[in-house]
Amino acid sequence: MDRRRTAVPGTRRRMTAPRLDVRGLGKSVPGPRRLFAGLDLAVRGGELVAILGESGVGKSTLLNILAGLDDADEGTVTIEGTTLGPLDEAARTRLRRERIGFVFQAFHILPYLTLAQNVALPLALVSADARAARTRAEAMLEAVGLGGRGGGYARDLSGGELQRVAIARALVHAPALILADEPTGNLDPETAARVLALFGGAVRERGAAGVIVTHSDATAAIADRVLTLTAEGLVERRGR
């Protein structure tokens, strides 16, 4: 039985052009050391891809490049038809705000904003309707098990709670592309299952494309494809 198909009832796959289209990506870091070369990846709307790989192999670097936060040495990253390479910083920032939800490994929850303000930030940056943003942020906090905690601050939260705030913020604006770096790393199995269901819903019900870097079998189990990053590029571990 294919558990991934039955895990999210009402699954709908949209066979459209790739949301994320990566071609011939290469990256070296000082050393010098080549992390990867000739890396190709296409992810469609409604598709969730898990990326595994040994520590230090370059998974976070790859996600940063996909989000336009780091530059590749060669190759292209195209998101919904827009290639990142030629974009200036302002255009990249706009594209990130409007179309990408990013869960960073280090969360990046802003300490001087309340939790609800942190979660509402992606909406506040693109819309003037502060009340709607606040309502949606509270609903997202509820969805990650932090209902009623929106008035608190990052300093009062555990690592796992911060991670859930980061996930709420990444999904609040219904992004076309979700990039997440170890999003369940600090969570107990029950809470991990809850946030994985949120990722599953965002991808399968709202048609986002998802790329999740993980070491977790539970995360890999909900993915449509599991790829392993090696120096030779992305190797398919299991087909659908």
Residues that bind ligand ATP (CB under 6 A): 29-30, 35, 53, 55-61
Residue 29 or 139: the one with the smaller Cβ distance to ligand ATP is 29
Q: Cis omega before residue 32 (within 30°)?
A: yes
To ligand ATP, the closest distance from the beta carbon of 160 in angstroms equals: 18
To ligand ATP, the closest distance from the beta carbon of 59 in angstroms equals: 4
To ligand ATP, the closest distance from the beta carbon of 181 in angstroms equals: 7
Residue 138 or 182: the one with the smaller Cβ distance to ligand ATP is 182
Q: What distance in Å separates the CA atoms of residue 71 and residue 162, rounded to the nearest whole number?
A: 28
To ligand ATP, the closest distance from the beta carbon of 78 in angstroms equals: 21
Helices vs. strands in the chain: H and E counts, helices first:
8, 10
Residue 30 or 86: the one with the smaller Cβ distance to ligand ATP is 30
Residue 35 or 234: the one with the smaller Cβ distance to ligand ATP is 35
Structure-block tokens of residue 172: 């609040």
Sheet holding 20-29, edge to edge: 33-43, 20-29, 74-79, 82-83
CB 121 within 8 A of CB 148: no
Half-sphere exposure of 106 (CA within 13 A, CB side): 4
To ligand ATP, the closest distance from the beta carbon of 33 in angstroms equals: 7
Exposure letters 108-119 (e unless 16+ CB within 10 A, then b): ebeeeebbbbbb
To ligand ATP, the closest distance from the beta carbon of 229 in angstroms equals: 7
Q: What distance in Å separates the CA atoms of residue 167 and residue 71, rounded to the nearest whole number?
A: 24
Residue 52 or 171: the one with the smaller Cβ distance to ligand ATP is 52
Residue 71 or 129: the one with the smaller Cβ distance to ligand ATP is 71
